[in-house]
Amino acid sequence: MIRFENVHKRYPGGREALSGVSFSLERGEFAFLTGPSGAGKSTLLRLIALIERPTRGTVLVNDQNTARISRRRIPAFRQRLGIVFQDHKLLYDRSVFDNVALPLVIAGASRREIERRVRAALDQVGLLGRESHAPITLSTGEQQRVGIARAVAPRPDVLIADEPTGNLDPELSLEIMELFTRFNEVGVTLLIATHDLELIERMSHRRLRLVAGQLTGDSGPEEQ
């Protein structure tokens, strides 16, 4: 589903964010991407979302070589990808409903379909009934759940998340992770970047460990 082959990413100025990263994530897998801040976790996720391109190496997503996806084709590619951000990236001049509906509107779903899927997504994250609220009136944890609802509403095959629990207390973090586990149970492939080791310890999932841009650990769930 996601495959990195000897991927390097060097930023202008010479800093190498990723060097020689190779791994493969199968369909329906759930993996954590760990490592200290600045280890390259965000860069790796950005390469998957085609926000950036690798300097060297190959990134395959959904069996597609991302190097062959032209700028014009990026929107269609991203429509099949769910992305959750640490800072939620919600639109604060729109209601919760409109935020979650955005990817569905882009994909050209019918109005009835949009309403059905938005409600289903909000139900999954426990925010049904808050459709007409403004995101700013919600707590940080709730806003993050709106962001997750937006990412899963179009039913993507792959969900990537960059520090989704970065601003949350342990209890809320666990809730979010349980949410991700439920998505994984219905077949979604997940790759979640986090440095919350305590949280990871409580869940038995594969761990990819990045240190200074290099993959230093890949422990499968079977080893735990």
Q: Which positions lie near another protein, rule CB under 8 A?
A: 49, 51, 72, 75-81, 83, 85, 89-91, 93, 102-103, 105-108, 110-111, 150
Question: Which is nearer to another protein, 23 or 77 (by Cβ)?
Answer: 77
- The span from the CA of 110 to the CA of 157, in Å, is 21
Closer residue to another protein, CB minimum distance, 78 or 209 = 78
* Nearest distance in Å: CB 20, another protein: 25
Query: What tokens appear for 39 in the block?
Result: 């280890």
Q: Which is nearer to another protein, 111 or 202 (CB)?
A: 111
3-state DSSP of the chain: CEEEEEEEEECCCCCEEEEEEEEEECCCCEEEEECCCCCCHHHHHHHHCCCCCCCEEEEEECCEEHHHCCHHHHHHHHCCEEEECCCCCCCCCCCHHHHHHHHHHHHCCCHHHHHHHHHHHHHHCCCCCCCCCCHHHCCHHHHHHHHHHHHHCCCCCEEEEECCCCCCCHHHHHHHHHHHHHHHHCCCEEEEECCCHHHHHCCCCEEEEEECCEEEEEECHHHC
Q: What minimum distance in Å lies between the beta carbon of 101 and another protein?
A: 11
We find the least distance from the C-beta atom of residue 18 to another protein, in angstroms, to be 17
CB of 147 to another protein, least distance (A): 10
Nearer to another protein, 84 or 179 (CB): 84
Q: Min. distance of Cβ 218 from another protein in angstroms?
A: 28
Shortest Cβ 150–another protein spacing (Å): 7
Nearer to another protein (CB atom), residue 83 or residue 215:
83
Is the Cβ of residue 132 or residue 223 nearer to another protein in the bound state? 132
Phi, psi of 218, rounded to the nearest 5 degrees:
-145, 90
Provide the Cα torsion 35, 30, 52, 9; round to 10°.
40
Q: Which is nearer to another protein, 35 or 135 (CB)?
A: 135
Q: Shortest Cβ distance from residue 51 to another protein (Å)?
A: 5
